[in-house]
Chains A and B, each alone.
Chain A
């Protein structure tokens, strides 16, 4: 039931927020904030309850069973005709990503407080529904339900960009929607191909994750189906050749939209790779890994170089996402626990550091009405606190030791090194590129003489309230990553089945009906 609450709270609060606008102009904001706080508290409660120490006592690790160890589950009938179930489940990976979701949800509500002034109710409806969709993606364990949530989170995101975005919002929102929809439909074909292949082999039509894990597939079929999934997730991630929607969408979205896009929607792509592509297609993924890692390194370098060339604050940050998510892709496909650890920490740290940079870009845009770095120059004079915070997050982004991003990228490199030294070396060069673009950002925007004689208000109390926890979390991730990693470590065996031909035990009493021809 807790799992259902995670989704229902934002969903219902969103609907309520829309109506509440009539009672009071600020009501939607408070409602949204309360919903996100409630979800976050709930998530924290679950985390503390299932902390690794307690878990070890509950379930001895001796049971070295590759089947995932779910902390919480909810399994209802939905569409029995096709063996579709309303199946939610939570493990360490989803729990950590959920916490990130709700944390960034709180931040998004706070940063929209003064930025969004029109159609406040409808804005919060969309914001909360995106978050509910993301939550659904992280929890769904039935492939149909996963696809359902995956597509559903796009619609409110489309509205967020199309209605509250910047100058070229129409173009950006449509491009975003078309890219993700096309890739999503490819995934639907892949899901159905997998399901029917499973049905042909076993006679059971089911969309259940656990049942599909052991689907015997011929080599060619496995390749095609895996590619269908991979493309969908690679577009979302984004990996290099299919990343072109990202700079537009991130740049044109309102601040909260950018935070959710960069912090969460991109993570759904990484989550999909971790949860579905690796375990469902262990053998093919293993063969595919070199290519994926090559794409990852290309993304790291290409994203970094493009970021260096941007003059638009948000566009620059958007390209850094391509670079950082390259590390995630590299870590996922490097194929060892160390690299996976790194990928996870990078996911969380990137969500926070990039999210914060987008928040800062939004705050500056609100004050300056421009995102052009050329128009900034020497802002430290007038907004010292804001500039200091920006310096902190720029340093986090370039991988300063002691902060979350460093831990993640370092672990990824450490894990990738034994797999391919060449690629690891090139990826390491990506950190160097990050130094260039991050320092260039700080130098161009905040240092130097205040040539345009800006006089601006510094961070308000509400803005500080949104940014301070982000600083703390990044420091905590950088200094005590093991607190997070211990939760994640329990999940790794289930994400990394042996690369040899997988003979997984069939799920006990797999739900779903026999295929009726």
Chain B
């Protein structure tokens, strides 16, 4: 690895160094504020180093990692999100009698895993990144140990994630057996060889998809989602909903488009499997959300549906002519989804007490008349999830439909549209509760840190919804090598 490689890798190196510094500082002295400050400073430095890495992109650093604009874009997104989550977690953790400092350590570690996923071009780095992220998440989900719910959620996630990792490894092994390579971009030439056994390949891909589907909570691998969302502390749930899913999605997109696996011999059936997963996720995610009465569970099911929506451009982009619009659509939608989800969980975090996280619809009853700003932010976030104009979610949904329409994937778009109207129903239920007559309940004040984050998210959300052009220009230059 030469000097350019080191420089290109700088964002990851800075992040790793931050983790070490935070760990040492905790060993030296436990100070909540100091740990937060170090975390934020490290993330800001990492973000700044993107500008050093950007001129060198695209740059292949070892066979494992590729630093192109695509991965740098996701680095930026992940660092920013982790920054927001750390600030939100600061307020959240202050209300709890647990060791607080390790939270930042673990979430930084998980962010490193997410960033590696976005940059990996090889199954080895894929698996390493995934495990770095997952193992940190096991601890994060069960972070509030005195409470039974987080512990239950953590164990559930641990067992299922371990099983899915086993599937994933087996799938990778089968693909390796069939093609003799672990490098994504060597897959396409290997597919052309006449001696590829299609059964190995198909089985390997399906197992791989099961592992990825688990992380993305796509139907039928979604069963853990509502329990983990409900049980995990609000900032951790935000982390799982955004960075965990976004990084896996970035990887999935790169894997599918650079390996051209779906142009290979078993393509037809694989495509069918992927489409079926998309349909099921959109339909079941939305229908099951209708039955929920806990806001965190509603958000969990809605996230299943949103990941299903995101498969629409992925499928549309399988033909190379539509690829660039598909990548654009996915990237924009993920940005919008990150902003929105962070905001929604941020509000939940602010409303949570030391005893329990806010979740029941009653916790939000009449919030608008007590805390207009907080409730207004939450309502805008929900409207964005529902894709109402003037929010980022609308532009995101527009992108999805445009990507689908440009590839003439009408069946997928129609299902997307119909199911998103079903989705509107449960979002409106929460909105209606927010504006319902006042219920006598205490509501915590908005602290400066959370207020700053939520305000920034709100502004960003509306900015992206009304003036999306700068972000579009940034995203338009992304391409998958």
Contact = CB atoms under 8 A, between A and B. Distances in A.
B472 A79 contact: yes
Contacts of A163: 435
A37 interface: no
Given A178-B424, A185-B417, A80 B469 contact: yes
Contacts of A80: 469
Contact of B417 (A158, A173, A189): A189
B383 A155 contact: yes
B233 to A, nearest CB: 32
Contact of A188 (B401, B424, B432): B401
Contacts of B390: 148, 152
Contacts of B388: 151-152, 154-155
A119 B178 CA distance: 67
A516 to B, nearest CB: 8
Nearest to A182: B421
Contact of A189 (B324, B383, B405, B406): B405
B405 A182 contact: no
B468 A192 contact: no
Nearest to B368: A122
Interface string B385-428: 00011100010001001100110001001100110110011001
Interface in A468-517: 516-517
B336 to A, nearest CB: 14
Interface string A77-88: 011111000000
B398 A188 contact: yes
A177 interface: yes
B435 A177 contact: no
Contacts of B37: none
A162 interface: yes
Contacts of A119: 369
A182 to B, nearest CB: 4
Given A151-B388, A182-B417, A192 B472 contact: no
Interface in A168-206: 170, 173-174, 177-178, 181-182, 185-186, 188-189, 192-193, 196
Interface residues of B, number: 33
Interface string A144-157: 10011101101100
Contacts of B321: 517
B156 interface: no
A185 B400 CA distance: 12
B405 A174 contact: no
Contacts of A181: 421, 424
Contacts of B472: 79, 81
Given A148-B390, A178-B425, A196-B405, A170 B476 contact: no
B420 A81 contact: no
A152 B389 contact: yes
Contacts of B435: 159, 162-163
A81 B425 contact: no
B473 interface: yes
A76 to B, nearest CB: 12
B421 A178 contact: yes
Contact of B420 (A149, A155, A185, A193): A185
A189 B424 contact: no
B414 A177 contact: no
A299 B181 CA distance: 66
Nearest to A197: B405
Interface string B313-333: 000000001101100000000
Given A81-B476, A155-B388, A170-B432, A177 B424 contact: yes
A159 B432 CA distance: 9
Given A81-B472, A517-B321, A192 B417 contact: no
Nearest to A133: B389
Chain A interface residue bracket vs B: 20 to 34
Given A155-B383, A181-B424, A82 B402 contact: yes
Given A148-B389, A174-B428, A192 B401 contact: yes
Interface in B260-310: none
Contacts of B405: 189, 192-193, 196
Contact of A81 (B401, B424, B429, B473): B473
A181 B401 CA distance: 15
Contacts of A193: 405
A178 B389 CA distance: 15
Contacts of B428: 158, 173-174, 177
A147 to B, nearest CB: 8
A82 B322 CA distance: 15
A144 B395 CA distance: 11
A186 B435 CA distance: 29
B396 to A, nearest CB: 13
A151 B476 CA distance: 26
Contacts of A182: 417-418, 421
Interface string A380-419: 0000000000000000000000000000000000000000
A233 to B, nearest CB: 17
Contacts of A177: 424, 428
Contact of B469 (A79, A173, A178, A192): A79
B265 to A, nearest CB: 27
A154 B424 CA distance: 13
A78 B469 contact: yes
> B401, B406, B476 — which one has the most chain A CB atoms within 10 A of its CB?
B406
B321 to A, nearest CB: 6
A405 B322 CA distance: 52
A98 B324 CA distance: 41
Contacts of A196: 402, 405-406
B418 A189 contact: no
A249 to B, nearest CB: 14
Interface in B220-279: none
B33 to A, nearest CB: 35
A7 to B, nearest CB: 13
A254 to B, nearest CB: 14
Contacts of B418: 182
Contacts of B421: 178, 181-182, 185
Given A174-B425, A177-B428, A189 B413 contact: yes
B201 to A, nearest CB: 29
Contacts of A148: 389-390
Nearest to A170: B432
30 contacts: A78-B469, A79-B468, A79-B469, A79-B472, A81-B476, A144-B398, A149-B389, A151-B388, A151-B389, A152-B389, A152-B390, A154-B388, A155-B388, A163-B435, A173-B432, A174-B429, A177-B424, A177-B428, A178-B424, A185-B420, A185-B421, A188-B401, A188-B417, A189-B405, A189-B410, A189-B413, A189-B417, A192-B402, A193-B405, A517-B322
Interface of B: 321-322, 324-325, 369, 383, 388-390, 394, 398, 401-402, 405-406, 410, 413-414, 417-418, 420-421, 424-425, 428-429, 432, 435, 468-469, 472-473, 476
Given A148-B390, A174-B429, A517-B325, 6 more contacts: A151-B394, A152-B388, A152-B389, A178-B421, A178-B425, A188-B417
Identify the 7 closest CB pairs spanning chains A and B, nearest first: A192-B405, A185-B417, A182-B421, A151-B389, A81-B472, A148-B389, A152-B389
